[in-house]
Structure 1
Amino acid sequence: MKKVKYYYDTENLAYRKIKPKKGQKLGVIALFLLASALFGFLCFVILINTPFFETPKDRLQAREIENMKINYAILNKKMDQVDEVLENVAERDNNLYRVYFNSSPIPEEQRKAGFGGVNRYKALEGYNNSELVVSTTKRVDIISKELVIQSKSLDEILKLAKEKEKLLTAIPAIQPVKNEQLKQMASGFGYRSDPFTKIRKFHAGMDFSAKTGTPIYATGDGVVERADNTASGYGNHIVIRHGFGYETLYGHLSKYKVRAGQRVKRGDIIGYVGSTGRSEAPHLHYEVHKNGEVVNPLNYYYGNISAAEFAAISKLANQENQSLD
């Protein structure tokens, strides 16, 4: 019940009711309504920010977030499988394919390298699930890079495979003079006594003693680089460029059967044994060059002789006797 207020009238010596002014009454009502509205709004804000009160939109967003997390989990599981397959392919690439084709393996740090420089994932940061999104995106980027590296590597292996057949035919792999036409394997690779000065000096090839006119065979596929007598000491000689760093030299020929620029195949007759130049007797002086350096020709006779024949030639070649040139 509303309290009634009075005041004392001294003129009439009596108590009278205090009547509130009309404007004051309206102000009180307005203040009450404003306070009620503010209180109601505050309660609403508190309610919508508590987990006990969810709007349909909130429930929809929560379901979408859960679905997103599930999808990311599935994606990461698939990436685990891709990682496993990639590691298997990389292992075979490095330890099988590249070994077979004599190519250097790709370092692990190159395969697994990340991305330096600016932050590629800044736009994904600052959200509730940023860590999940950023880590998964990084994995996708790294796997994509690994796939590019592996794809390029397999392209290189394919190219090497195509070149392998050419390499096998280019390597000087047979004797330049047939065994049945040899008098003897006169001198091998290494230090030998010079036939003219009798001084011990390095002999850069092998000497095959045979009759003048005995056929000489190209030991691998290639192109004749020179067929002349301009190089000191070799007399009439032939140089064949085989490619892949290989060259062979055939010296002291009696005559040629090829010319410079001509392409030859392993086993083709290119000339005939003689004793031109600095030579003591009819023979073929034969050299093998790999990447510009002389190597022992004995290591390349695997295309047309048996193990027993190779053992016999090896024994003769390793004797430190006198060379024929």
Structure 2
Amino acid sequence: MSKVKYYYDSDTLSYRKIERKKGTTITYAAVFLLASALFGFLFVFIASQFVQSPKERALARELQNMQLQYKLLNKRVNDAFAALENVEERDNGIYRLYFEANPIPEEQRRAGFGGINRYSKFEGYDNSKLIIESNKRLDVLQKAIVVQSRSLDEIALLAADKEKFLASIPAIQPVNNENLTRMASGFGYRTDPFTKVRKFHYGMDFTAPRGTPVYATGDGVVTRADNRATGYGNHIRIDHGYGYESLYAHLYKYNVRDNQRVKRGDLIGFIGSTGRSEAPHLHYEIFKDGERINPINFYYGNLSAEEFSKLLEKAQLENQSLD
């Protein structure tokens, strides 16, 4: 039973019973409920700022893990850039330099992507800056790898061509040293054996017995193996490519035919004394772009430094040639 409440009425000088109106009770109840709801909402709001729900804790852990993964990704990208820079340095400083190719500019290797914003889909998030920066670096790395890959493809082609070039140019002595009687005459002014007049001798003469093997001095294609050139007798011409050609004259017989492809060191003929020749020997010439050049500079392939020094000394003697 609820307590009855009274109030003192000063007009009647008596206590009067407090009568609560029904509407007032409802109002009080509504105010109480509203206050309770506001207090509850405030309590939940404040609690949510300091206390996470299981779902929020799971999302927070996932976010932390994502941030950690991006940091690890950036470290791996840094390591990849370091390894790539090492390859790029060797590419520009060794490979391309050796093969006489222009180095690739740094701005070409590290170029980004212009035009439209490729990273707009990553904007508007708490970690947008981290995500966008990571993706930019990955794109630059990927493009740099593509540039380097193409460069290595080019280097491979240059290397193959360089290998072909080194195998093609005349680089050995056409007659083995053990078969030589002597190196009779070199490139330069010599005395003609028939007219005794001093004239320019455009090749080198190697004296050896008739039938001594003669070898191709570089890879190439035989363009002539005949005796239809004045003075040379039976002779062979080999086109080595790159503007180089070698000639072997006064042969006893051939071991090759026209249009035959030969390798350096292949047996192509035998020493004789055909044509304008005083004694069995090989007259050897080298042409570069149609001009005769001194063969003395093309024996690095099979002569030691001492042997080359002796050959050079003999080649410089102004004696009598054999043709």
CA contact (8 A) 2:251 2:269 kept: no
1:72 alignment partner in structure 2: 70
- The worse-fitting range, judged by mean Cα deviation, of 263-272 and 72-81 is 263-272
1:127 alignment partner in structure 2: 124
Give distance in 1, aligned partners of 2:113 and 2:287: 45
2:25 alignment partner in structure 1: none
Q: What letter is aligned with 2:111?
A: G
Give distance in 2, aligned partners of 1:230 and 1:134: 77
CA contact (8 A) 1:192 1:322 kept: no
Give distance in 2, aligned partners of 1:204 and 1:131: 74
1:104 alignment partner in structure 2: 101
Q: What letter is aligned with 2:171?
A: A
1:316 alignment partner in structure 2: 314
> Of 171, 174, 198, which aligns to 1:173?
171
What is the percent sequence identity of the aligned residues? Answer: 50
2:20 alignment partner in structure 1: none
1:238 alignment partner in structure 2: 236
Alignment gaps of 5+ in structure 1:
1-39
CA change 1:140–1:194 in 2 (3 A) is farther
1:114 alignment partner in structure 2: 111
Deviations 1:195-233 (A, max 9, x none): 3694665x5432224455543222234432221344555
CA contact (8 A) 2:271 2:281 kept: no
Give the drift of 1:76.
0.9
Give distance in 1, aligned partners of 2:89 and 2:173: 39
Deviations 1:105-156 (A, max 9, x none): 7435276241465245253575355443333222212211222233344455
2:271 alignment partner in structure 1: 272
Give the drift of 1:286.
1.4
Give the drift of 1:83.
1.1
Deviations 1:30-49 (A, max 9, x none): xxxxxxxxxx9xxx9xx99x
- SS of residue matched to 1:223: strand
Give distance in 1, aligned partners of 2:107 and 2:225: 48
- The worse-fitting range, judged by mean Cα deviation, of 228-237 and 59-68 is 59-68
TM, length-normalised to structure 1: 0.64
CA change 1:291–1:131 in 2 (3 A) is farther
CA contact (8 A) 2:232 2:274 kept: no
Deviations 1:247-275 (A, max 9, x none): 32212334323211223341414243324
- SS of residue matched to 2:136: helix
Give distance in 1, aligned partners of 2:167 and 2:220: 9
1:34 alignment partner in structure 2: none
CA change 1:59–1:296 in 2 (3 A) is farther
Give distance in 2, aligned partners of 1:142 and 1:291: 46
Give the drift of 1:160.
6.5
> Of 258, 261, 265, which aligns to 2:259?
261
Structure 2 matches for 1:1-325, cutoff 5 A? 66-95=64-93, 102=99, 104=101, 106-109=103-106, 112-115=109-112, 117-119=114-116, 121=118, 123-124=120-121, 126-128=123-125, 129-155=127-153, 170-189=168-187, 191-193=188-190, 195=192, 198=197, 201=200, 203-231=201-229, 234-242=232-240, 246-265=244-263, 266-276=265-275, 282-289=280-287, 294-321=292-319, 323-325=321-323
- SS of residue matched to 1:287: strand
CA change 1:61–1:156 in 2 (3 A) is same
Q: What letter is aligned with 1:273?
A: G
- SS of residue matched to 2:133: helix
Deviations 1:258-305 (A, max 9, x none): 21122334141424332425x566532212345666554223324444
CA contact (8 A) 1:98 1:157 kept: yes
Give the drift of 1:77.
0.6
- The worse-fitting range, judged by mean Cα deviation, of 108-117 and 256-265 is 108-117
Give distance in 1, aligned partners of 2:120 and 2:191: 79
TM, length-normalised to structure 2: 0.64
CA contact (8 A) 1:121 1:134 kept: no
CA contact (8 A) 1:288 1:295 kept: yes
CA contact (8 A) 2:252 2:269 kept: no
Aligned residues: 279
CA change 1:105–1:269 in 2 (3 A) is same
Give distance in 2, aligned partners of 1:291 and 1:319: 27
CA contact (8 A) 2:271 2:280 kept: no
CA change 1:126–1:320 in 2 (3 A) is farther
Q: What letter is aligned with 2:140?
A: I
2:7 alignment partner in structure 1: none
